[in-house]
Structure 1
Amino acid sequence: MEPIEIFKKWLDEELKLSKARISSAVSLSTIGMDSFPNARFVSYKELIYNCFIITGSLNSRKGIEMETNDKVALTFWWTETERQIRIQGIASRLSEELADHYFSERNLNSQAVSSICEQGKEIDNLEQLEKKVLEKVSEKTAITRPNNWGGFSIKPLRIEFMDFKKTRYHDRKLYEIENGEWNLKQLQS
């Protein structure tokens, strides 16, 4: 079975069991401007052309880091099925059309937050920012996607699956692209 098909199967199995509010959360790791790795959780959207889609603020730390160094990693940990998936790949910015599509799927409050907040920037008064968001939501008008909001498509080069076992003898498989084909290696746990 190809790694993308395994991912879909594992995701489906986890989603059927998960009670998590954000069951599609994934850790995104980037290389920081100071050469230190940075990891944070983001919402995985879907697969398009076998690439993993995430969205968010383009002028946030993660957005700037992906624009500067397109080598990224995604790590999924699924509690219910006790599985981990690690992905290393290349990030590319989404088209304006796709960014518009994902923004339109967000609820009004999330759209308002994205149109007003400057993610990761220092703030003096959080209550004042919350008030601005509430005012925007209360207008109940369509919110246009801000230019600094978009997303990234991550083309995988390596995908590692680890199925945890009570025996501690975990099933660990690494798929790597070699000469345009996925190559499988069984790894020790």
Structure 2
Amino acid sequence: MDKIRQPIPLFKKWFEEEINLTKVQIPTAVCLSTIGIDDFPNARYVSFKEIHDESFIITGPLNSRKGIEIEKNNKVSLTFWWTETERQIRVQGIATKISEELAEKYFHARDFNSKVVSMICEQGKETSTIKLLEQKVLERVTKNKKIDKPKDWGGFSIKPVRIEFMEFRKSRFHDRKLFEFKDEKWILKQLQP
């Protein structure tokens, strides 16, 4: 296990090591778990953007199920699994909306088709006419005009309270370290495999 004694620098180191080795198409995918509006846990993969101000940034429609769930209960978790380095990182934290300026930055960094889909579709809402939505997206893509960020598109900054790092070993004696933020500092604990 790395000798880094703070979780954010350790996360960045592990993330960079995985990115340099990975062959997966979306290396920034992370599982976001929320408490559902029906009190059942809910998990889905989202795109991790970066660490900003010691917090994990994810983006998407604020009026989607995840956005509504976070609005109701902002205690969330992120789970990273990295195949090449055989490492897992679990983050528990408090989610808050990112600023409009940051949302604009992330939205404009997206590819054109993603922007169009975000403009036309209401993520996760029921539809009886998927073909009509596809047609609307295709028509808008062919116009190839600038897309403004939809008012309900933004993101969340997840301030961690716990981060667990686990490095898998063939012996099954996995190395697990838990960082907990207490009294304004990180406390490190070694966990059993």
Task: Return the TM-score normalized by structure 2.
Answer: 0.97
> Is 1:61 matched up with 2:65?
yes
Map 1:28-177 → 2, pairs under 5 A: 28-177=32-181
Match of 2:31 among 19, 27, 30: 27
Matched position secondary structure for 2:68: helix
Matched position secondary structure for 1:62: helix
Query: How far did residue 125 of structure 1 move?
Result: 1.6
Identity %: 62
Unaligned runs of 5+ in 1: none
Unaligned runs of 5+ in 2: none
Pairs aligned (count):
189
The residue identity in structure 2 corresponding to 1:29 is: S
Which ranges of 4 or more aligned residues in structure 1 deviate by more than 2 Å?
Answer: none
The residue identity in structure 2 corresponding to 1:131 is: Q
Deviations 1:80-103 (A, max 9, x none): 110000000000001111101100
Query: How far did residue 128 of structure 1 move?
Result: 1.1
The residue identity in structure 2 corresponding to 1:9 is: K
Deviations 1:48-67 (A, max 9, x none): 01100000010000000111
State the Cα RMSD in Å. 0.5
Deviates more, 1:124-133 or 1:44-53: 124-133
Query: How far did residue 147 of structure 1 move?
Result: 0.7
Cα distance in 2 for partners of 1:93, 1:169 equals 39
Task: Return the TM-score normalized by structure 1.
Answer: 0.99
Cα distance in 2 for partners of 1:156, 1:136 equals 39
Partner of 1:9: 13
